Homo-oligomer: A and B are copies of this chain.
Amino acid sequence: MYSSSANVSERQAAPPSLAISTVIFALRPSESSGRPTLWLPLVRRIREPYKGLWALPGGPLSHSESLQDAASRNLVETTGLAPRYLEQLYAFGGLHRSPTQRVVSIVYWALVQPTEAALADESENVRWFRADRLGELAFDHNAIVDYALWRLRNKLAYGSVAYHLLGEYFTLAQVREVYEAVLDRQLDPANFRRQLKSTPDIEETGEYLQGGKHRPPRLYRFTGRPGLDPDNRSTP
């Protein structure tokens, strides 16, 4: 314990620094099976600590932007993409997250569309990885990604996030593939279709997807709205 009078350990008492990071998910076909899989972009650390390791995109919170704006900016700067879904994940503030200084990270997670994700920037220091094969990341970022995955699975099970990983038009089988990729288990096509058809915010179109080697599936469209964050408003 240091003195209770002031100014002595001023540097010690300086407020922890505040950063925003973002876990960005997108579906990409697996190189091996071709089935859609979860991928996310990471940036290479070019400074100590953890220089050379991969880390979540992020940076300090600037004075004039909201938390969500900062997360959005992360997204644009590292991938060039606009998020289709962006939600606060958690504030990580453990004492020893960074070896050099105390830093509190407010982490967001985002979903982007595959069409866009295919065009995403990639470079020497930005690369996409399969979510289930990340290797060792900087700081506590492995734990953060794990938690983001857990949250994604949860949201998927209840809510309406799956559609934000797909384009505007999609087949019910594509939705099922999203679920299978994220939950990592097979689902019965017929039962899954029955469930989706009973939800309100998914709408039949007159269009069919051509080009497969089989009966062309009908295309659907998502009509629901994602809930807002509580800083503006609610979220599950």
Listed in ascending order, the chain A residues whose CB lies under 8 Å from chain B are 12-18, 60-67, 88, 90-95, 102, 104, 106, 143-144, 147, 150, 154, 229-232, 234, 236
Contacts and interface: CB of A to CB of B under 8 A. Distances in A.
Given A13-B63, A90-B231, 10 more contacts: A15-B60, A15-B61, A16-B61, A64-B95, A90-B230, A91-B106, A92-B231, A93-B231, A94-B231, A94-B232
Nearest to A61: B16
A230 B95 contact: no
Tally of this chain's copies:
2
B95 A66 contact: yes
Contacts of A17: 15
A142 to B, nearest CB: 12
Contact of A18 (B12, B62, B104, B143): B104
B104 A67 contact: yes
Contact of A16 (B18, B88, B144): B18
B234 A150 contact: yes
B88 A106 contact: no
A147 B235 CA distance: 9
A67 B14 CA distance: 15
A64 B17 CA distance: 13
A153 to B, nearest CB: 11
27 contacts: A12-B63, A13-B63, A14-B63, A15-B17, A15-B18, A15-B60, A15-B63, A16-B18, A16-B61, A61-B104, A63-B102, A64-B95, A65-B95, A67-B93, A67-B104, A88-B90, A90-B231, A92-B230, A92-B231, A93-B106, A93-B231, A94-B231, A104-B106, A144-B230, A147-B230, A147-B234, A150-B234
B104 A230 contact: no
A94 B150 CA distance: 27
Contacts of A66: 93-95
A55 to B, nearest CB: 17
Contacts of A232: 94
- Give the interface centre of A17, A61, A154, A232 by most chain B CB atoms within 10 Å: A61
A143 B233 CA distance: 8
